[in-house]
């Protein structure tokens, strides 16, 4: 460990003053334990700082921990397995399987004890699943959903990081609430999409069917079918939007609708769902406009339809990219 005298004194001082970050504390502990000399140095410093020598009774602590985790004798333990629905095609990656195993762990019910949170994550794939209450969820890539308290409280509460589409199973007694980091989204009716990416400053909600309430600390906005709103984290504003992003659910429905959109926009949207498979060879074609719908087609069919409509051609490269070629579009 490369720690010269200057640094070690600063690090020890920082630690003793209670200012050390977890990583710094780890670094110091490793240094102290590296040699008897180091440990003595540290202890001298601790004394010089004026901190009393105290004993830590780990045996007593361990017993205390055990006492809290062993179930009391005589209490019944109920095991409730989660049911999952997923299409076989999506189980390709072993990563997905691992996270599924995590979810399939049993839920233990111990009297009034708080249930642990449960996590569902989608990693590099789109994942569709059904929650214990019957709610259908479709997670976009790299999204994680945490079921707070195992869904056992008086609310059905979830924390969302990423993007997901919800078709909520109706339950008047247990409201369905999503914590998207700064804003709460409460389902009153049925189907809606939430985009709450952790790095992004905004949380975007759009309602397909039913009613949803979005609440920040300051106010609440009620959204009905085909309405959407955005919550800006930095300014804490809740803003209703007039535009309806019609292709918002495409990542799981594979249905697209483009009305007089530019070719570059169409390609970008398609690529966002299928991966970067389509490219334009001639940048001049970017601004060609097209009106077209796609209903669960393969990327190749989509490219074929686009090129046919606009009088262009395409070929598939060795890397599996569809390259659209042509000098101009039929408009």
Partner 1 sequence: MFNAYAESLVRYAETILKNTYEAEDIVQQLFVQLWDKRSTLVITTSLKSYLYRAAHNSSLNKIKQHGVRDSYAEYYTYVGNAETGSAAQRVEAKEVNTAIETAIEELPEQCRKVFRLSRFEQMKYQQIADELGISVKTVENQMGKALKHMRLRLKDYMLLLMMYLMNQN
Footprint of partner 1 on this chain (CB under 8 A)?
5-7, 9-23, 25-26, 29, 41, 44-45, 47-52, 54, 56-58, 61-62, 64-65, 68-69, 99, 102-103, 105-106, 116-119, 121
- Least distance between partner 1 and beta carbon 126 (Å): 19
**Distance from C-alpha of 199 to C-alpha of 234, rounded to nearest angstrom:** 12
- Least distance between partner 1 and beta carbon 315 (Å): 42
Which residue number, 94 or 242, has a Cβ lying nearer to partner 1?
A: 94
Cβ atoms within 10 A of the Cβ of 216, count? 17
Please state, in angstroms and as integers, the Cα–Cα distance from residue 188 to each residue in 110, 150, 235, 237, 290, following that order. Answer: 31, 21, 26, 22, 37
Which residue number, 130 or 289, has a Cβ lying nearer to partner 1?
A: 130
Angle at 185 between CA 184 and CA 189, to 5 degrees: 155
Residues 6+ apart with CB under 8 A from 287: 262, 263, 264
- Least distance between partner 1 and beta carbon 104 (Å): 10
- Least distance between partner 1 and beta carbon 120 (Å): 10
Question: Rounded to the nearest 10 degrees, how much is the dihedral formed by the CA atoms of 160, 162, 167, 173?
Answer: 10
63: enclosing H helix or E strand: helix 58-69
Which residue number, 156 or 252, has a Cβ lying nearer to partner 1?
A: 156
Please state, in angstroms and as integers, the Cα–Cα distance from residue 174 to each residue in 15, 83, 108, 152, following that order. Answer: 46, 20, 20, 10
Which residue number, 11 or 266, has a Cβ lying nearer to partner 1?
A: 11
Which residue number, 12 or 196, has a Cβ lying nearer to partner 1?
A: 12
- Least distance between partner 1 and beta carbon 33 (Å): 9
Which residue number, 45 or 271, has a Cβ lying nearer to partner 1?
A: 45
Which residue number, 47 or 236, has a Cβ lying nearer to partner 1?
A: 47
- Least distance between partner 1 and beta carbon 102 (Å): 6
Question: Rounded to the nearest 10 degrees, how much is the dihedral formed by the CA atoms of 271, 274, 277, 280?
Answer: -30
Inter-residue contact 147 to 134 (CB < 8 Å): no
> Quick one: three-class SS letters along 263-296?
HHHHHHHHHHHHCCCEEECCHHHHHCEEEEEEEC
- Least distance between partner 1 and beta carbon 174 (Å): 21
**Can you list the alpha helix ranges (DSSP code H) found in 193-280?**
250-253, 263-274
- Least distance between partner 1 and beta carbon 25 (Å): 5
The two three-digit tokens of residue 42, written as one number = 């540290």
Closest CA to 256 of 270, 268, 244, 267: 270
Which residue number, 121 or 273, has a Cβ lying nearer to partner 1?
A: 121
Please state at what angle helix 22-34 crosses helix 36-49, rounded to 10 degrees: 120
């Amino acid at each position: 460990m490369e720690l010269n005298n200057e640094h070690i004194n600063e690090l020890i001082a920082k630690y003793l003053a209670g200012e050390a970050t977890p990583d710094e504390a780890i670094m110091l502990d490793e240094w102290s334990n590296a040699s008897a000399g180091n440990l003595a140095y540290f202890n001298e410093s601790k004394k010089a700082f004026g901190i009393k020598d105290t004993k830590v009774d780990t045996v007593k602590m361990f017993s205390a921990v055990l006492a809290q985790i062993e179930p009391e004798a005589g209490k019944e333990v109920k095991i409730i397995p989660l049911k999952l629905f997923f299409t076989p095609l999506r189980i390709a990656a072993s990563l997905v399987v691992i996270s599924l195993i995590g979810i399939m762990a049993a839920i233990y019910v111990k009297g009034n004890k708080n249930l642990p949170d449960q996590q569902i994550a989608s990693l590099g794939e789109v994942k569709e699943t059904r929650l214990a209450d019957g709610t259908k969820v479709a997670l976009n890539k790299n999204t994680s959903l945490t079921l707070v308290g195992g869904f056992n409280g008086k609310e059905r509460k979830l924390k969302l990081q990423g993007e997901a589409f919800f078709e909520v199973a109706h339950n008047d007694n247990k409201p369905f609430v999503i914590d998207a980091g700064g804003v709460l989204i409460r389902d009153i009716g049925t189907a809606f999409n939430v985009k709450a990416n952790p790095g992004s400053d905004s949380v975007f909600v759009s309602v397909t069917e039913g009613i949803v309430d979005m609440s920040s600390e300051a106010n609440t906005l009620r959204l009905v079918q085909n309405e959407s709103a955005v919550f800006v984290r930095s300014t804490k504003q809740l803003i209703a939007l007039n535009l309806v992003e019609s292709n918002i659910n495409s990542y799981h429905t594979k249905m697209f609708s483009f009305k007089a959109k530019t070719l570059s926009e169409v390609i970008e949207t398609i690529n966002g769902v299928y991966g970067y498979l389509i490219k334009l060879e001639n940048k001049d074609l970017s601004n060609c406009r097209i009106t077209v719908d796609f209903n669960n087609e393969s990327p190749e069919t989509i490219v074929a339809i686009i090129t046919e409509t606009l009088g262009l051609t395409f070929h598939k490269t060795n890397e599996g990219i569809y390259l659209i070629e042509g000098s101009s579009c039929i408009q």
